[in-house]
Structure 1
């Protein structure tokens, strides 16, 4: 009886933590939620010049932008943890959910965003194929790499935002860094001669079996280290 009650209380606490996360992300506007979900579909525009044999780089760019969009959404979950929003932070600190449960459910929320991210990326790829006839030969490599990139980036973002006291500053740095990398790649491509640019666009992306093992190990280790760091930071942080 006591065990069943304890389990029920724990599940209720987990639901509270996840509800708080998605309250920070979605707000109260259904229209804005729909817009936020549909916004990454514009990334299909980066594949419009690609033919059936030029799928490597366009798919990579589209996947990169989609992954960064949803990793940035993970960062939004932390807006109530900012020292600049002291009332919200104190409410989180005293609500009937342990710090460990809050961290566990934050990673659970990030996992849900991972699923949403790749569901949307699948829609983008289908639209690119339907509208622009993009080749899918690179898909078998791009998708796993994008998944690993999401895990590693999320593993970096979560403890960083747990440790930061200024949400706006940390979020602006994340956004600026992502945009800088993207436009740097675009500028480099524009500066390349036409022949070399076409060659780069059509280059197929391949990873050796050993490379996949290394990528998998990096993703798993980064996630474990990230969780332990987040738990340590949030458990000892004063609100």
Structure 2
């Protein structure tokens, strides 16, 4: 969810050099495809992330859905605009009717594909600008990494705040300083938006994270680094829903 990974510059940001949003083969017109997966019902406990660094996001998302995940973020930092759009649209076709798909970074792709929303990092579009692209009625999440950022985000047009990394994580290069449970709890106390905890969260420590006040937990490695992602997702869904 955080993008401290050396992110591509504008020539790699998903829009090929010399291209503009209107040159993507689809336009915002016809985004009535926003359909069933939009809406602001509460986030599920498990916020699963289909990260391309662990394999094909389409296959990963399908396995996560098979395992019972009902919110999946599609994270592919180095796909072109058209590649990412194609992946998101394929995932939406495979998603159960009660599932929601969030796109990492790209409000334009989320809107064109008809995804449920977008997740932004500190270096992405300002949430107010992203909301203009995304439109009303879709989910907008925003990453924060300390108390000051979380307090500031509470006043922005975001629907939830991600806070982390809670624990050390090897998923992100150049990760922000670890928050720990005490700072996570402080963030959960002061903000009014739902908090999605992220970073180093495993089945072994998820109870502590939820007890600190997190509404949901975002998980990458502990879900995807498995020979059977669907089975691992089932284990996670059962575990967090029992808390």
TM-score after normalising by structure 2: 0.28
Which structure shows the bigger proportion of residues in strand conformation? 2
Higher percent of residues as helix: 1
Q: Higher relative contact order by CA 8 Å / sep ≥ 6: 1 or 2? A: 1
* TM-score normalised by L of structure 1: 0.28
Larger Rg: 1
